[in-house]
Amino acid sequence: MKNIFDKKREIYFVTKHSKIDKRGKLTLILSPEFYWVKKENLPVKRVYEAKRLAPSVFDGFLPDGDYSYIVYKEGEEFILIAYDREKILKDLSNIVENIEDIEEIRFTQTEFEPQESCIEVDNQSSLVWIDGVAVFIPRLCADEGKNILDLLKEIKLSKYKVKISQKDLIDTKSLVLYLFPFILLSLSFLTEYAIYKKSIFSLESKREDIIRRYHLPPTSIQLNNIKNSLLNTYKKQKKIRDFIDFVGGMDIKKGEFVKSLAVDFKEAFVSIKISSPVRKNLIKRYFSKKYKIKKESLKENILNLEIAL
C-alpha cells in the first residue's frame, strides 16, 4: 500500500499480507502485527531507566527471539515497544521486492496519534486504539470512517525509527568471507581494553546508584516485586486482547457486523447488527462458550450484550 512519495523515498504502511513491487528508498510503517507494546506505570522517572526494565516488563510475554526496545513517556506512564529485528526483516523479505531497498522501519504506535474511531487499513483489516495502544484487527470497521490513507496525509514522522543498513542484510556466506579479516582487525583494538573496562565499571556504578535511589534489590531486572505488579497489568491486558481475538473469530453472516465494542479488564459491551432475530441465540451461544452474559437486549436487529470477563 503506497502512501507518501517524495524525491528521496517512498513511505508505505505494511501489514503481513502487504505486497510492494516497486524499487527505491523505502520507509516502512509496520502494523502492530510486527511488534509488541505495553503501557506501564514503572517505579522510575526517566526513559533510560525504564528502558533498563523493559526486558522484565515483557518477561514471559514474548516468543523466543533477540529483542530490542523503544521506550518513551506518555503522561505518567511509559510506552514500551519490543521488536525482533531479525524476525521483522525475515517477514519483510516476503513483502518487498528487494529487501536492500528498505532504509528504515517505523511503528504504528509511534507514528500515529490515538484515534477515537476505527481506521480501515484494507479490505481485510483495521486499526483500533485501546487505552492509547494501537491494535490490529483482522476485520473491517463496522461504520464508515477514516482510512489509513487519511492518517498518512497528515503524518509527521516521529524521531522513533530503526535504521536498516547493509550490515543488517548480510547473508551467511558473506559473513564467512568477512570473518577472518574482521578477527585480524579486532586484534588491533586490544590496547583499548583498559579504557573499555573503565567504562563498564562506570556504567555498573550508575546501575548501583539507580538501585539504591529507588530501593530496588540488586537483581532489579528480574526482581519479583516488579514482576508481580507487572504480571497483574499483563493479565488485564491479555484479557482485553483475548476478548478482541474472540470477537474476531465470530462467524459473521452477510449483512452482519460489529457496530460497537467497548472493553476493559472486567467487562465488555458489544453491539452486533444481526441479519435476523433467529441469529440472536446462536451468537449468545458463541459468547457463552467462554464468557458470562450479564445483560442482553435486542432492538431493530441490533443485539446488545454486556459480558463479564
Last residue of some domain: 165, 185, 202? 165
What pLDDT score was predicted for residue 237? 82
The parts of the chain modelled with pLDDT lower than 50 are 2-7, 166, 168-179, 182, 184-185, 188, 220-221
Under 8 Å between Cβ of 88 and 10: no
Its domain, for residue 197, covers 170-215
Residue-level pLDDT at 176: 45
Residues 134 and 50 in one domain: yes
Do 113 and 191 belong to one domain?
no
Distance from C-alpha of 183 to C-alpha of 170, rounded to nearest angstrom: 17
Q: In the chain, how many H helices and how many E strands?
A: 9, 15
Residues 178, 291: one domain? Answer: no
Claim to verify: residue 119 and residue 5 sit in the same structural domain: yes
* Shared domain check, 290 and 236: yes
CB 30 within 8 A of CB 105: yes
State phi, psi for 137 to the nearest 5 degrees. Answer: -125, 135
Same domain, 124 and 51: yes
65 shares its domain with 127:
yes
Q: How far is CA 147 from the centre of its chain?
A: 20
pLDDT at site 36: 95
- Whether 137 and 59 map to the same domain: the answer is yes
Q: Are residues 3 and 132 in the same domain?
A: yes
Domains contained in the chain, number: 3
Task: Give the tens place of pLDDT for each residue, 178-214.
Answer: 445 545 445 545 555 555 556 566 666 766 666 666 6
b/e map 43-74, b = 16+ CB within 10 Å: ebeeeebbbbbbebbbbeeeeeeebebbbbee
- What SS3 string covers 161-226? CEECCHHHHCCHHHHHHHHHHHHHHHHCCHHHHHHHHHHHHHHHHHHHHHHHHCCCCCCCCCCHHH
Any idea what the CATH number is for the domain that residue 282 is in?
3.30.1360
